Amino acid sequence: MLSFNALIVVALLYVALLFAVAFWADSRAERGRLGWLRSPLVYTLSLSIYCTAWTFYGAVGNATRSGLEYVTIYLGPTLVLIGWWALLRRLVRIGRTQRITSIADMISSRYGKSNLLGIIVTVLAVVGTTPYIALQLQSVTLSFAVFSPAAAGEGADGLSSIAFWVAVGLVVFTIMFGTRNLDVNERHYGVVTAIALEAIVKLAALIAVGLFVVFAVADGPVDVLERIEASPIADWDLQPDRWATLIFLSAAAFICLPRMFQVIVVENSDERHLATASWAFPLYLFMISLFVLPIAVVGLATLPADANPDLFVLTLPIAFDQSALSMLAFLGGFSSATSMVIVAAIALSTMVSNHIVMPIWLNARKGGATVSGDVRDTVILARRLSIAGVLALGYLYFRLSGGGTALASMGLIAFIGLAQVLPALLGGIFWRGATRVGAAVGLLVGFAVWGWTSFLPSFGDSAIMTASVFSEGPFGIGLLRPTALFGIEGMDPLVHSVFWSMLLNSGAFVLFSLLSFPTPIERIEGATFVNVFRYSESAPGWTGGAAEAEDLLIMAQRIVGPTEAQTLFEAEARLQGNAGYLPEVTPDFLQRLERELAGSVGAATAHAMIAQITGGVSVSVEDLMKVADEAQQILEYSNQLEAKSVELGRTARQLKEANDKLMALSVQKDGFLSQISHELRTPMTSIRSFSEILMGGERMSAEDRQRYSSIIHDEAIRLTRLLDDLLDLSVLENGQVTLNMRHDTVRAVLDRAVAATERPHKAGGIVIHRTPGDEDAPLYTDSDRLAQVFINLIANAEKYCEADAPALTIEVKTVAGRTVVDFTDNGRGIPREAREMIFEKFSRVSDHRAAGGAGLGLAICREIMARLGGTIAYLPGQGGASFRVTLPEAVARAAE
C-alpha cells in the first residue's frame, strides 16, 4: 500500500500544479491572451463545483443506504439546465447589466439596493455554508486517515492538524487568486481554470475506479447488474414525496448556493456559454453518477462489514492493492473538496465585505467616500480578512462538531437553508409587485423555520434542543414541535422541513409584498429586472444634478484605481463630445458609474457613495410619478421626451460654453496684440536708448559700457525668443514641420529634458521625483520635439508652482495600452474654468502675468503632440497642476 509520506508528497505536488495552473492562467489573462480560457467548456467544467466531496464520496454511501435516491441530487440541476435554462440566461443577463457581485447583491439590488436584505442573505449564506466547508475539511481528513491508520489512531488531534493545514493552504490559494482584482468584470481566470482542471480529475477518478470495479473486480456489466439485482439495494422503494422534494431541493440549491451563483452568473463571460452548459453539464453529471451503484454493490460484497460505505471509492482500490488508482481516487476527492471551498470562500467573502464590512466602515467615517484614504485597499483587505474568517469558521465548526456523523447530514440541511432565497429571487425577476418588505419578511420566516425544523435538530436531541422539545414542543406547545409543526405528524423530517419553510416563506413573501408599497427605486429596479431583455441598458434612477464631476472622479479613483477611473471618465467625456477628462454629470453617466463601482463594492454601497456626493437625491418627484404610471408606453414616451430635453439643455450649455470661450479668446487676443507690441517695444526702447548712449561717445567707465552692452544683449535675446516661439507655432500650425524620427526610450528623452532645465536648488529650482514605472518603453518619434514638450512642462512647474517646497512628480505608465507621462506638481493647480484655455495661444492665467512668458508654451506643446500623433491634456483631481502626455501609439509599436 501507498505510504502516508508518499501520499503527502503527491498531494503537495498536485497542489503545486494547481497553483501553477492558476498562476499561468492569470498571467495569460493579464496579457489579454484569453483564448480558450473563456471557452464554454471551461465554463461548464467550473459548474462542477456543484459536486463536492459530499457527492464524490457520499453518493456511494448514500446508495448503500437509500438505493437510487442519490440520483435526485443530479436530477435537480439537470432539470434546471435542460428545462429552464432561460431562467439562467435571465440571471446571467441581469448579473451582467447590473454588475452583480453575489447572490446577496442580486437580492439587495433588486429590492431598492436595500442593504438590510444584503445582510440577511449574507448571514443566511454564512450559516448555511460553514457546516458545508467543515464537511469538506472532514472528508479530506478522513481520506488521509484511510491511508494512515496510525495518524487516525492518534485521534482527532492528528486529523485536525491535517484539516488545519488544508484550511491554511486554501486561504493562501483563495487570497492569491481570488482577490487579485476588484472588478468583477475582470474575472478570476486563474481560479476558474484550476477548478476546471479539478473537475476533470474528479471525473477521471470516479470513472477509473468504476471501470476497475466493473471489469477487474466483477466480470463486466452483466455481472454487475446481476449483483445489483441480488443486493439489498434492489429492495429499495421509491418514496414519491422524498423523491420530489429532493429534486426540488437540488434544483433550488443549484441556483441559490452562493458558490453556484458565483460560477454561473458572476464568472460567466459570455451568455452563449449557457447553451453549451445546458447539455454538457448534465452529461458530466451523468458520467459522474454512472458508476455509483456498481461501486456501492461491489464494495458491500467485498469489503468487511464494518467498512464505511462513504469511503468505498477510496477503500476499494486500496483493498485490491491498486496504489495508482487509490492515489487518483484520493486526488479526486481532494479536488472535489478544495474546489468547492475555494469558490465558496470567494463568494462569501465578497458578500461579507460588501454587505457587512464596507457599510460599517463607511458609516464609521462619517464624511464618507470623499475623505482621504484608499477605499480600494480597504475593500481588498476586507475581502482577504473575510476569506480567512470564512475558512476559520469552517475549521472551528469542524473542530467543535468533533468531525462526527452529524456533519454527514449537513449537505441537505445546507441546501434547505439556502433554498430560502429562492422565492425572493424568482419573485424578484418575474414579478414587478415584489417588494423589499415582502422579501425581507419571507426570508426571515424561511430562515427561522429552517433553523427550527432542520438546523437546530441536526445537532441531535441532546445538544441544543432537549428531547422534550422534540416530543412535546417548546414550553409544552405541541403545535411547535420541530419535526411535527402545527401538529402534522408522520412526515419525513426532510420533507417536513422543506414543505413548511418554503410554504411559509413564499406565503409571507407574497402577502407582505401585496400589503406594502414599494419605494420608487424598487419600482424602477423591479421593472429593470423583470424586463431585463427589453431594457438591457439603463433605467432612470439618478436625476443628474448637483455633483461636480471632479468629486466623482476623486471618489472613483479611490475605488477602481486611478487609471481605470480616468479611462472611464475620459471615455464618457469623449462620448458626450467634451474634451479633457471630465464629462457632464448626466443621469446616464451616474447610472453607468454606479454600475461600474458596484462591481467593486456592491450595488448598495456604490449607490450610497454616489448619493453622498450628489446630495442624496437619487429619484425626484417627477420620477416617482413616472414610475407610478404603469402604462409602459407612456413611460417610455415621457422618458424619450425627458432625454430629448436634457439633451437640448446640454447642447445649449455646450454652445454657451463654446461662445464664452470664443469671447474670452478674442479678448485675450486683443490683449495679446497690445501686449506683444508692448513686449516688443520695451526691449526695443531700451536697446535704442542704450545703444544711443554708447554711440554718443560720452565718457563713461568701462563697467558702465559693459553693463549697457549686456542689457542690449539680454533684451535682444528676449526678443529673439519671442519671435522664435511665434515662428515655431506658426510653422507647426501650418503643418510645414519635418519630423526627425528616430528610435529612443522615454527615459532618455526625460533625462535630456530634466538636464536641460536643471537649476541649482538655491536659485529656485524644483525638486523632481521620477517614478520610473514604464520608462523603458521604446519610442520611435522626433525625440527632440518630444523633449521640447517635456522641457516646457518642467519649466512651467518651476515658474508657476507656488508651494513652499515645490516638487514635481514625473510618472511614466501604461494606460489602456498606451504609454503616458504624467507631470504633477504640488502647487495650487489651475482653476477649472481655465483648464482648456491654457492650451490656446496667448492665454495665461491672470495672476501669473508676472512670471513672464507670452502664453505660447502649452499651445506649442499641443501642436507638437498633435504632429507626433499623441496628446497632451490637463489631468484633473491630482491635487496640484497635472499634465498628461499620451505618447504616440502606432509609432511606439513600430519600434518593437
Query: Which region among 42-50, 172-180, 620-628, 852-860 touches ligand ADP (by CB under 6 A)?
Result: 852-860
User: If binding is defined by CB under 6 A, does position 635 make contact with ligand ADP?
Assistant: no
848 forms part of the interface with ligand ADP (CB under 6 A): yes
SS3 at position 719: helix
Which residue, 160 or 809, is less far from ligand ADP as judged by CB?
Answer: 809
From the list 118, 518, 827, 876, which residue makes contact with ligand ADP (rule: CB under 6 A)? 827
Q: Which long-range contacts (CB under 8 A, 24 or more apart) does 359-364 make?
A: 359/115, 359/604, 359/605, 359/608, 362/605, 362/608, 362/609
CB of 681 to ligand ADP, least distance (A): 19
> Residue 306: exposed, middle, or buried by beta-carbon count in 10 A (0-12, 13-18, 19+)?
exposed
Q: Work out how close the CB of 623 gets to ligand ADP at its nearest, in angstroms, rounded to a whole number.
A: 42
Q: Which stretch binds ligand ADP (CB under 6 A): 41-49, 357-365, 742-750, 856-864?
A: 856-864
Candidate segments 120-128, 230-238, 699-707, 843-851, binder of ligand ADP by CB under 6 A: 843-851
Cβ proximity of 726 and 856 under 8 Å: yes
* Residue linked to cell 495650487: 828
Give me the least distance between CB of 838 and ligand ADP, in Å please.
4
Residue 844 CA to residue 854 CA, distance in Å, equals: 8
Q: Please give, one letter per residue, the 3-state secondary structure of 363-387.
A: HHCCCHHHCCCCHHHHHHHHHHHHH
CA distances for 83 relative to 75, 80, 247, 251, 539, angstroms: 11, 5, 13, 11, 30
**Cell representation of residue 332:** 479526486
Least gap, CB of 722 to ligand ADP (angstroms): 10
By CB under 6 A, tell whether 855 contacts ligand ADP: yes
Beta strands in 728-881 (DSSP E): 742-745, 767-771, 778-781, 807-815, 818-825, 871-874
| Shortest Å distance, C-beta 752 to ligand ADP | 19
User: CA angle at residue 265 from 251 to 112, to 5 degrees?
Assistant: 95
| Contact region with ligand ADP (CB under 6 A), list: 109-117, 339-347, 797-805, 809-817 | 797-805
The least CB distance from residue 567 to ligand ADP, in Å, is 23
Amino acid identity for residue 482 in this structure: P
- Interacting span for ligand ADP (CB under 6 A) from 271-279, 583-591, 811-819, 855-863: 855-863
Judged by CB under 6 A, the residue of 555, 559, 797, 873 near ligand ADP is: 797
Considering the rule CB under 6 A, would residue 875 count as an interface residue with ligand ADP? no
Among 555, 854, 865, 885, binds ligand ADP (CB under 6 A): 854
Query: What is the separation, in whole angstroms, between the first and last Cα of the chain?
Result: 57
Nearer to ligand ADP among residue 348 and residue 830 (C-beta): 830
* Given 110, 844, 862, 884, the residue binding ligand ADP (CB under 6 A): 844
Q: Which stretch binds ligand ADP (CB under 6 A): 186-194, 317-325, 777-785, 846-854?
A: 846-854
| Residue 847 vs 889, nearer CB to ligand ADP | 847
Among 825, 865, 885, 888, binds ligand ADP (CB under 6 A): 825
Q: How far is CA 538 from CA 322, 658, 699, in A?
A: 60, 30, 86
* Residue whose CB is less far from ligand ADP, 96 or 844: 844
Q: Is 881 in the site for ligand ADP (CB under 6 A)?
A: yes
Q: How far apart are CA 620 and CA 642, in angstroms?
A: 13
In order of 73, 76, 129, 445, 531, the CA distances from 248 in angstroms are 9, 6, 19, 19, 26
Place of cell 523632481: 768
Distance CA 771, CA 459 (A): 59
Window of 520-528, 594-602, 712-720, 791-799 that interacts with ligand ADP by CB under 6 A: 791-799
Nearest C-alpha neighbor of 415 from the set 132, 31, 792, 733? 132
Identified binder of ligand ADP from the candidate list 853, 876, 877, 888, rule CB under 6 A = 853
Task: With CA atoms as reference, report the closest residue to 199 among 44, 361, 73, 94.
Answer: 44
By CB under 6 A, is residue 838 in contact with ligand ADP?
yes
Count, residues near ligand ADP per rule CB under 6 A: 20
- Three-state SS for 490-548 is CCCHHHHHHHHHHHHHHHHHHHHHHHCCCCHHHHHHHHHHHCCCCCCCCCCCCCCCCCC
> Which set of grid coordinates corresponds to residue 461?
436531541
CA distances from 183 to 247, 344, 375, 572 (A): 35, 18, 13, 19
732 binds ligand ADP (CB under 6 A): no
State the amino acid at position 505 in one-letter form: N
For the bound state, the minimum distance from the C-beta of residue 862 to ligand ADP, rounded and expressed in Å, comes to 9
Nearer to ligand ADP (CB atom), residue 132 or residue 800: 800
Q: Compare residues 38 and 828 and give the one whose CB is closer to ligand ADP.
A: 828
Beta-carbon contacts of 543 under 8 Å, excluding residues fewer than 6 positions away, are: 587, 617, 618, 619, 620, 622, 623
Residue from the set 104, 391, 830, 892 that interacts with ligand ADP by CB under 6 A = 830
644: CB partners within 8 A, 6+ apart? none
Does residue 98 belong to the site contacting ligand ADP (CB under 6 A)?
A: no
Burial class from Cβ neighbours inside 10 Å (0-12, 13-18, 19+) for residue 403 reads: buried
Residue 600, all three cell numbers: 467593486
* Burial state string for 198-227 with b = 16 or more CB within 10 A and e = fewer than 16: bbebbbebbbbbbebbbeebbeeeeebeeb
CB of 792 to ligand ADP, least distance (A): 6
- Work out how close the CB of 851 gets to ligand ADP at its nearest, in angstroms, rounded to a whole number: 7
Measured from the CB atom, the residue of 452 and 800 that comes closer to ligand ADP is 800
User: Minimum distance between the CB of residue 856 and ligand ADP, rounded to whole angstroms?
Assistant: 5
Least distance in Å: CB of 865 to ligand ADP? 13
Residue 212's identity, in one-letter code, is F
Q: Which stretch binds ligand ADP (CB under 6 A): 179-187, 220-228, 495-503, 822-830?
A: 822-830
Least separation in angstroms between residue 85's CB and ligand ADP is 58
At 15 the three-state DSSP class reads: helix
Smallest separation, CB 758 to ligand ADP (Å): 17
Beta-bridged to residue 769, according to DSSP, are: 809
Q: Which of 582, 801, 821, 885 binds ligand ADP (CB under 6 A)?
A: 801
61 touches ligand ADP by CB under 6 A = no
Examine residue 806 and tell whether it contacts ligand ADP (CB under 6 A).
no
Which of 202, 255, 264 is CA-nearest to residue 47? 264
| Residue 90 vs 848, nearer CB to ligand ADP | 848
Binding range to ligand ADP, per CB under 6 A, among 153-161, 186-194, 838-846, 866-874: 838-846
Burial class (CB in 10 A: 0-12, 13-18, 19+), 479: exposed
* 105 is an interface residue for ligand ADP by CB under 6 A: no
Amino acid at 417: G
**Residue 858 in contact with ligand ADP, rule: CB under 6 A:** yes
Is residue 789 within the footprint of ligand ADP (CB under 6 A)?
A: no
367 vs 879 by CB, closer to ligand ADP: 879
Asked if 794 is part of the footprint of ligand ADP (rule: CB under 6 A), the reply reads no
- For residue 490 the three cell numbers come to 408522520
Q: Binding ligand ADP by CB under 6 A: which of 857, 870, 876, 888?
A: 857
Least distance (Å) between residue 166 CB and ligand ADP: 57
Residues of the shown chain interacting with ligand ADP in the complex, contacts defined by CB under 6 A: 792, 796-797, 800-801, 825, 827, 830, 838, 844-845, 848, 853-859, 881
